[in-house]
Amino acid sequence: MSVTTPPATPALKLAPDEVAELNRRFERADPTAILRWAVDQVPTGRLVVSSTFGVGGMVIIHLLSEAGIRLPVVFIDTLYHFPETIEHALRVRDRYDLDLRIYRGAPTRKEFEAVHGRRLWERDEELFHQLTKVAPMREALEGVDGWITGRRRDQSETRAALPPVEIAGERVKVNPVASWSLDVIWGFIRASKIPYNPLHDLGYASIGDVPLTTPIRPGEQERDGRWRGSSRVECGLHGI
């Protein structure tokens, strides 16, 4: 007896005018409404949250939990995160009962350095990010039609025009807190008692890899502590 396989659910396809209309609609929308739209529109099993558990990502995770929405959370372990970041990620996983999916460019830092040598970021920063972040993220996004981020416009000049919804290649990228300021983010975190990385209390505003992250100075933007002394402003993940 033959078995008929049901047709696969088609990926979400949005025309440019549809994206523009969504962004007009979502410009002042509550982030939870944007999250619900994404869950309703992206086929089941093809939507993920990507997070390094920074403050914007923590707001997203909390809102999803409050709304009773359970999605896979993708975390790229670059092998060079601060210990505090890893500990924070595991605490958040346990508190929110996350479906946490961790991707790495190698099983361990020792194995990575056996192939690429130590301090690769000093010799080839682009290759370092491609191997530790971009390649694992490409793996994480296989079979994914949409991903949710905690990025915001006020993080840096390169993100100043960030829309709530954008098309990234064949995928929809959703930025529910794009219009929120850092002050609003922190106000929400404190009011809702959301856990955050303890490094924020030590002056680290945006937290990446240990060798490429420093605290910010008075008057600097949130991401100015990343890649200090370099012209680099993004790691490459959001160019996928």
Q: Is residue 6 one of the residues assigned to a domain?
A: no
Domain of residue 155, residue span = 16-198
How would you class 88 by CB atoms within 10 Å of its CB: exposed for 0-12, middle for 13-18, buried for 19 or more? Answer: buried
Question: What is the pLDDT at residue 11?
Answer: 65
Domain count, the chain: 1
- 69 found inside a domain: yes
User: Residue 6: its pLDDT value, please?
Assistant: 38
**Predicted pLDDT of residue 236:** 64
- Taking only the tens place, the pLDDT of each residue in 120-140 is 999 999 999 999 999 999 999
The answer as to whether 57 is a domain residue is: yes
As to burial, measured by CB atoms within 10 angstroms (0-12 exposed, 13-18 middle, 19+ buried), residue 67 is middle
CATH of the domain at 122: 3.40.50.620
Is residue 7, in this structure, part of any structural domain at all? no
Region 168-196: what's the mean pLDDT? 96
- Helix H segments across the chain? 16-26, 31-41, 55-66, 83-96, 109-116, 120-123, 125-129, 135-140, 182-192
What pLDDT does 221 receive?
A: 85
pLDDT at 7 over 70: no
Q: What is the pLDDT of residues 65-113, one digit of tens each?
A: 999 999 999 999 999 999 999 999 999 999 999 999 999 999 999 999 9
Average pLDDT over residues 196-204: 97
* Tokens, residue 4: 């008929």
pTM above 0.85, yes or no: yes
pLDDT score at 55 = 97
Answer whether residue 237 is part of any domain.
no
Bigger pLDDT: 12 or 205?
205
In a domain, 240, yes or no: no
User: Are the CB atoms for 103 and 74 separated by under 8 Å?
Assistant: yes
The whole-number average pLDDT for the span 27-47 is 96
The verdict on residue 129 lying in a domain is yes
Distance CA 127, CA 170 (A): 24
Q: Is the pLDDT of residue 177 over 50?
A: yes
Q: Which residues are catalytic?
A: 235
142 falls within a domain: yes
